[in-house]
Structure 1
Amino acid sequence: MSSARKMPPPGRPTMPIRFALGQCALGALLVAHSGSGLCAILLGDRPEALRDELRQRFPQAELIDGAADAERLLAQVAGFVEAPWIGLDLPLDLHGTAFQQRVWQALRAIPAGSTLSYAELAARIGAPKAVRAVAGACAANALAVAIPCHRVLRSDGGLSGYRWGVARKRALLEREGRE
């Protein structure tokens, strides 16, 4: 009988998550990665709140603060916030439903400086009636800027809710030459 080893689910103690906290033009920034790629890019006003959010997202993980590799990723993500045209091509460790993953993949295909409405995004993934579900997938995104949900607008072109605040959404779009 074969004794194939099962991989533990994400966030188990056997899976360390390295992270770093810093500042960028949008406020506090937390960047975290597992062995598979970036698993969180969080924006906020207070570093402590971002650390708490990471703990809530991965309650069983061994969180390692300030690792050198996480510090390098933090600098890379902060640089991307400042200059989105440079691109951010890093491996991602996505945790979500199959539907969320479809939405997030479609979001990654929206180039900097471009936007879509929630309805257009729903149509693009082949679920034109799932506009609210698309909005929910955007809200569940824990990888700010890497999965650019800030590029999704209301049907009238206006800014709507953004997990990290409408002011940050506006600032990101301005940096990309959209607003």
Structure 2
Amino acid sequence: METVYWAELRHSLFQNQTMYIAATENGLCKVTWPTDSMEVLMNWIYRRFPRAEMIENPEKLAPYLTQLIEYMDGARQSFSLPLDLRGTAFQTKVWRELQQIPFGETRSYSDIAHGIDHPQAVRAVGTANGANPVPIIVPCHRVIGKNNTLTGFAGGLKVKEALLNLEGYHGYTAAGHARFQF
């Protein structure tokens, strides 16, 4: 039986709303958004780890919590955490490409598609980006529309804007949901 450890995280960047993180013995596997409930975390874990024992253990997850808090405090620009990412081959390829986007920079969905040698797969890149289980660490917030608009985002556009502002990136247009402008 696999064990999935979880803990709560609150930070002023998100008005102290509760986020949840989860990890296996292999690494971090889930970070929720401040708009997500505990039920979202539990459902996600049960779908991917149906036989897992879930244990709240902030002490075991302290290294993950520390690095996330350092990032949200503006004291960390990259992460050195083990990850337990489970997805399709295409998703993991996209997630690895997202990890190449430097702090304070952005890429378009088209840039990511070209970066993984699938230039026609722009929409599929958007879908994989939205399925990213460990946002912030795998920086899906750094992907914006080709015309520099903030596009749809699982955590909500205010969260995306807060993360980009934290990183000092202000080259986007906050024009709302620019659907299909990849």
Structure 2 length as normaliser, TM-score? 0.84
Does residue 48 of the first structure (1) align with residue 38 of the second (2)? yes
1:161 to 140, 152, 156: 152
Task: Give the length in aligned residue pairs.
Answer: 166
Aligned to 2:143: 152
Per-residue CA deviations over 1:101-150 (Å, capped at 9, x if unaligned) read 11000000000011010011101110000000000000100101110000
Give the CA deviation at 1:90.
0.4
Unaligned segments of structure 1, at least 5 residues: 1-13
The CA deviation string for residues 14-72 of structure 1, in whole angstroms up to 9 with x for no partner, is: 11011101212223221111111111111123543444344444333111113411244
Q: Which residue of 1 aligns with 2:6?
A: 19
Per the alignment, residue 34 of structure 1 pairs with 24
Matches within 5 A, 1:1-179: 14-24=1-11, 25-26=13-14, 27-45=17-35, 47-57=37-47, 58-83=49-74, 85-179=76-170
The CA distance in 1 between the partners of 2:67 and 2:45, in whole Å, is 23
Tell me how large the CA RMSD over aligned residues is.
Answer: 1.7
Equivalent residue of 1:150, what SS?
helix
Distance 1:51 1:96, change over 3 A: closer
Deviation at 1:76, TM superposition (A): 2.5
- Compared CA separation, residues 102 and 124, structure 1 to 2 (3 A): same
Identity across the alignment (%): 34
Indicate if the aligned counterparts of 1:121 and 1:134 stay in contact, CA closer than 8 A: yes
CA distance, structure 1, for counterparts of residue 39 and residue 158 of structure 2: 18
TM-score by length of 1: 0.85
SS of residue paired to 1:158:
coil
Please report how far the alpha carbon of residue 95 of structure 1 lies from its aligned counterpart in structure 2 after TM superposition.
0.4
CA distance in 2, matches of 1:73, 1:66: 12
- How far 1:80 sits from its partner (Å)? 1.5
**For the pair shown, which has the larger CA radius of gyration, 1 or 2?**
1
Q: 1:46 to 1:93 in 2, by over 3 A?
A: closer
